[in-house]
Each structure stands twice: as structure tokens, then as C-alpha cells.
């Protein structure tokens, strides 16, 4: 593959990071010929404003979900479990209302297809267990929490008694569930006969030589690794848009690999490169090839629209198969991925929460593939035909993940509109119930997929969450 000059890539990344006003970013690309590109930008601390580098420890948040899924796939490849085992075999207390216990499998947890709707426990766990957090959001979540949400038993009990409608039968619909992945972590404990933290270290971190990566729920292990002080502070934009920082990592005890892995751009690029190369890294088979196949292989379709496999989204564009995931928490915005069977791994780690570094990882993909660096990667495109039954979509939809969020769909002067998060967007039809959210500048601000039953939308998938009709 043709590679662009590193100076051009460096200049482009600097420009984008400045435009976004990100405090600190570390990026890495690892390819078949060894190290391809690694660099840090901005700063990792408040006082000295020391620059990060590829070995700076960041949070990776939901990028860690693929690691929990990979642990399950390793166990399955070795014949110790089946991905089609019912979750209740390993957690007898687990059930999803409306679905018989033996129908919800490990595979359903890994693919977010259990029927669990978006719900609050992760946000409750953060708000209740993380000290010295007093934002309006924290206060609201603390006031509404039924308990500490500090044990998996509390999470499982809340799922079993879910006050919101489940999303059909197991395997029917995909809706991203942090709670489902929390349960998956404890399935690994039971199946492996040891804590996930130890299994992850022995079977993934050590073989891949990810020496600055760890799973901890409070950053204590990460700080112990960073004896050189090369660990980032955490930043957020306040109400006035000013970037402020602190050292307070989100603490959420039962969620573990779902959100609590700490790593570096260097380590994560190695991780994704290993998966891209069927478990081979530095010429050694460090992960069973069958485990990678179970995770992202032929059992999942290769198509333009993204498909959530076991812990990674998979999609095809111009003959290249991308598998990727993002993450976000307080002081964490991450993107990572791989080019399947092409031996390339990519990582972008940012120390600001609620940021969007997607155009940075796109630039890395483009650079490796020889495309213009600003080429967008899209899999959803408008069609000429207007949606034939707009009235089927009218109404209000709600998501209960954290403070409830609504989406209100209506028609205005012949155009389908949606009011969401205090903003109004035009819905541009992209076929088969898919729409792009367009702002007043006609720039894309998201996507929605309406789920229609008996002539009316009962829900809408907003990115990866299903909002249900009120």
C-alpha cells in the first residue's frame, strides 16, 4: 500500500487537534513492516503542560469491551465454553424480563442483542462511587440511584426487574448495553476460574507485550505502572467552553473491562494489529486464530453498514474491512481499529471527555491506504425517494441511559424534523428506515434507524442505542 509522507500526516493532525481544541492526544499506527507512526500532541498535565507520547497512559473506556469479548472467544477457541452457552450457566441470577433464561447467550451479551434497553446503572455507578463530583448531572444521578451500583449483583437485580420494556427477543435487535458487558466480565471470571483482570493480563497484555496496559476500576494499577509519571490528567469543557482538568478518574466497580482499562496508543495499536493479523504479532501466534475468527470473522457479514460483532464494529469500504470501536468517559475520548487481514492497527487517545476524535482516526486510515487525509469514511448515503410513511414516525422516543433523553419527530413545512438534546435537525432519508440528521448548515450530525411494527415506529436506533416510543 502506498503511504503518505509522515510530515503531511503530522501537519494534518496538528491542524485538526488545534481546531478541536483538544488538550492532549496520542496516536499510533502499527503496520506489517513494524512501527509506522507514533506521536503525541498538546499536553498531558495542567502545570508543566508536558506533552504526551505514545507511551502515555490514557483511559480507553469502551474500547476495552473488545478485550472482554476476546477473552470469551479465547475460552471458546480452547473448548472451555461455547459462545452459545446461556449466560445463566455462569451467572444463575441473570435474566432479561420476557426472555427465558436459557435463550440469552454469551454471544448475545457480546453483540448487544440480549433485549436489554438503555438504562442507568453505569451512570449511577460513576456518580455514586466517584468522590468529589458535584455537577448537575452527578447530583441528579446520585439522587435517583436506588443503591450504590457497586456490585454485579446489584446490576443483575436491576436488569431482572427492569422498569422499561425490553427490546424484543434475544438476538432480535442490537442496542448498546454497558450493563450487558458488565455481566460479560463476570462470565469470564466463572468460565476461566480466575478473575478477568488476571486472565486478561496473562492471555492478552503479556503475550502482546502491552506493558503499560492494565484493568483497574480506580486507576491505582495505572499509577503504579506510570513510575515515570507518564500518565495523563483528565480534562473537560465547562459551561463556558473552557478546558479544565483534574486527576479524578471515574470509579465504577462492577463495570471493569466494560469501561475501566487504561492503556497507551502504542499498546493499543499493537493490540489491533494482532487482531488484524489473525492473532499473530512479531511473528508469533500469541492469540488463537480461531478466537479472532469467532470475534470478527466469517460468522459476521461484511457489508457497507456497520455490524457489531463480538466487541468491535465491522464494515466494508472500497474492499477494505474495518473493525473499530470508540470510547468515552470523564477525561477520555478514544478511537481504535484495524484493517482486517491487512496487518494494520490504529489508535487515537484523547484526554478530554465528550470529544470526538473520529476525523483523526480517519486520517490514519486514509494515510495508510493512500487516500486524501480529509476523505470522510461514511456508510450511509441519501436516496432520492422521500420516506413514504412519515406519519408512522411522528412522536416522542426516550432513552433512559443516564438522565433521560428524548427525541421528538414531527413534520415542518413538508420536511421530517427531530428535536434532540435541545437541537433541531432535518431528517434526510437514506433508505429502509435510515435517516441522517442534518443541521442548518446541512452538515451531518448523526444517524437514526426507525424500527417499524404494524405500521408504526415502536423505536428508533440513535447511533447504537434504541430509544423506545413514549
Residues 270 and 374 in one domain: yes
Residues 230 and 371 in one domain: yes
pLDDT of amino acid 4: 64
User: Are the C-beta atoms of residues 50 and 223 closer than 8 Å to each other?
Assistant: no
pLDDT digits (tens, 9 = 90+) for 15-55: 999 999 999 999 999 999 877 899 999 999 988 899 999 99
Residues 263 and 394 in one domain: no
Average pLDDT score over residue span 398-416: 96
- In order of 4, 360, 364, the CA distances from 11 in angstroms are 12, 12, 12
Residues 412 and 353 in one domain: no
Share of the chain above pLDDT 70, in %: 99
Return the C-alpha torsion angle 447, 110, 212, 249, nearest 10: 60
DSSP state string for 258-302: GT-EEE-HHHHHHHHHHHHTTTEETTEE-S-HHHHHHHHSTTS--
Calpha distance 127→129 (Å, rounded): 6
Calpha distance 304→44 (Å, rounded): 37
Residues 403 and 375 in one domain: no
Residues 406 and 439 in one domain: yes
Q: Report if residue 222 sits inside a domain.
A: yes
Q: Report if residue 385 sits inside a domain.
A: no
Last residue of one domain, picked from the residues 319, 350, 379: 379
> What is the SS3 assignment for 119?
coil
Q: For the chain, what is the domain count? A: 2
Last residue of one domain, picked from the residues 345, 379, 413: 379
Per-residue cell: 429:
432519508
Calpha distance 63→262 (Å, rounded): 10
Per-residue cell: 377:
469514511
Residues 317 and 366 in one domain: yes
Q: Is the dihedral of CA 67, 353, 48, 51 positive or negative?
A: positive
CATH of the domain at 394: 2.40.128.50
Per-residue cell: 336:
481504535
| Residue 203 or residue 35, greater confidence | 203
pLDDT of amino acid 239: 75
What does the DSSP 8-state code read for residue 201?
A: I
> What is the SS3 assignment for 13?
helix
> Is 366's pLDDT higher than 80?
yes
Q: Report if residue 398 sits inside a domain.
A: yes
pLDDT digits (tens, 9 = 90+) for 290-329: 999 999 999 999 999 999 999 999 999 999 999 999 999 9
> What is the SS3 assignment for 322?
strand
Give residue 184's pLDDT band: very low, low, confident or very high (50, 70, 90). very high
pLDDT of amino acid 68: 98
Per-residue cell: 69:
469479548
Full residue range of the structural domain in which residue 394 is found: 390-469
Residues 369 and 422 in one domain: no
pLDDT digits (tens, 9 = 90+) for 323-348: 999 999 999 999 999 999 999 999 99
Q: Report if residue 83 sits inside a domain.
A: yes
Residues 364 and 240 in one domain: yes
Residues 204 and 241 in one domain: yes
Q: Report if residue 223 sits inside a domain.
A: yes
Least confident residue range of 61-75, 108-122, 229-243: 229-243
Q: Report if residue 33 sits inside a domain.
A: yes
Last residue of one domain, picked from the residues 317, 344, 379: 379
Whole-model pTM: value is 0.97
Residues 347 and 327 in one domain: yes
Q: Tell me, rounded to whole angstroms, the distance of Cα 97 from its chain centroid.
A: 25
Count CA within 13 A, CB hemisphere, residue 22: 32
Phi, psi (degrees; rounded to nearest 5) at 196:
-50, -40
Tell me how far apart the terminal alpha carbons of the chain are, to the nearest angstrom: 50
Q: Report if residue 7 sits inside a domain.
A: no
CATH of the domain at 211: 3.40.710.10
Phi, psi (degrees; rounded to nearest 5) at 121:
-50, -40
Q: Report if residue 6 sits inside a domain.
A: no
Cβ within 8 Å of residue 103, ≥6 positions away:
86, 169, 170
pLDDT of amino acid 1: 44
Least confident residue range of 122-126, 130-134, 321-325: 130-134
Per-residue cell: 275:
487482531
Residues 270 and 158 in one domain: yes
What does the DSSP 8-state code read for residue 42?
A: E
Per-residue cell: 43:
499536553
Which residues are paired to 37 by β-bridges?
A: 29
Amino acid at each position: 500500500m502506498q503511504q503518505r509522507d509522515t510530515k503531511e500526516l503530522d501537519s494534518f493532525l496538528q491542524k485538526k487537534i488545534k481546531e478541536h481544541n483538544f488538550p492532549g492526544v496520542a496516536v499510533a499506527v502499527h503496520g506489517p513492516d513494524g512501527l509506522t507512526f507514533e506521536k503525541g500532541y498538546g499536553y498531558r498535565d495542567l502545570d508543566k503542560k508536558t506533552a504526551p507520547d505514545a507511551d502515555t497512559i490514557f483511559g480507553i473506556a469502551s474500547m476495552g469491551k473488545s478485550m472482554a469479548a476476546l477473552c470469551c472467544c479465547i475460552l471458546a477457541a480452547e473448548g472451555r465454553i461455547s459462545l452459545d452457552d446461556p449466560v445463566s450457566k455462569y451467572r444463575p441470577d441473570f435474566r432479561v424480563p420476557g426472555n427465558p433464561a436459557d435463550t440469552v447467550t454469551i454471544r448475545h451479551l457480546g453483540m448487544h442483542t440480549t433485549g436489554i434497553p438503555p438504562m442507568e446503572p453505569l451512570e449511577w455507578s460513576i456518580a455514586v462511587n466517584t468522590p468529589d463530583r458535584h455537577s448537575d448531572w452527578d447530583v441528579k444521578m446520585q439522587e435517583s440511584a436506588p443503591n450504590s451500583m457497586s456490585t454485579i449483583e446489584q446490576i443483575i437485580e436491576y436488569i431482572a426487574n427492569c422498569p422499561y420494556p425490553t427490546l424484543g427477543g434475544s438476538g432480535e435487535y442490537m442496542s448498546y448495553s454497558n450493563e450487558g458487558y458488565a455481566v460479560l466480565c463476570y462470565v469470564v471470571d466463572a468460565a476461566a476460574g480466575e478473575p478477568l483482570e488476571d486472565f486478561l493480563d496473562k492471555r492478552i497484555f503479556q503475550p502482546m507485550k502491552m506493558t503499560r496496559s492494565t484493568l483497574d476500576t480506580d486507576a491505582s494499577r495505572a499509577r503504579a505502572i506510570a513510575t515515570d509519571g507518564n500518565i495523563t490528567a483528565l480534562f473537560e469543557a465547562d459551561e463556558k467552553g473552557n478546558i479544565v482538568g483534574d486527576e479524578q478518574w471515574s470509579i465504577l466497580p462492577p463495570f471493569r473491562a466494560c469501561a475501566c482499562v487504561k492503556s497507551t496508543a502504542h499498546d493499543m495499536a499493537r493490540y489491533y494489529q494482532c487482531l488484524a493479523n489473525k492473532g499473530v504479532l512479531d511473528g508469533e501466534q500469541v492469540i488463537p486464530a480461531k478466537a479472532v475468527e469467532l470475534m470478527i470473522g466469517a460468522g459476521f457479514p461484511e457489508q457497507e453498514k456497520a455490524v457489531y460483532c463480538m466487541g468491535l464494529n465491522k464494515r466494508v469500504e472500497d474492499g477494505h474491512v474495518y473493525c473499530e470501536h470508540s470510547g468515552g468517559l470523564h477525561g477520555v475520548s478514544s478511537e481504535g481499529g484495524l484493517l482486517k487481514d491487512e496487518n494494520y492497527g490504529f489508535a487515537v487517545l484523547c484526554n478530554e471527555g465528550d470529544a470526538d476524535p473520529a476525523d483523526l482516526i480517519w486520517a490514519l486510515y486514509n494515510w495508510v491506504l493512500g487516500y486524501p487525509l480529509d476523505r470522510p469514511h461514511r456508510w450511509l448515503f441519501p436516496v432520492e425517494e422521500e420516506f413514504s410513511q412519515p406519519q408512522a414516525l411522528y412522536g416522542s422516543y426516550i432513552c433512559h441511559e443516564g438522565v433521560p433523553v428524548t427525541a421528538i419527530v414531527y413534520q415542518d413545512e413538508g420536511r421530517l424534523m427531530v428535536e434532540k438534546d435541545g437541537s433541531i435537525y432535518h431528517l434526510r432519508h437514506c433508505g429502509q428506515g435510515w435517516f441522517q440528521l442534518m443541521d442548518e448548515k446541512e452538515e451531518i450530525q448523526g444517524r437514526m434507524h426507525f424500527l417499524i411494527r404494524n405500521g408504526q415506529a415502536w423505536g428508533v436506533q440513535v447511533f447504537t442505542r434504541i430509544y423506545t416510543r413514549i
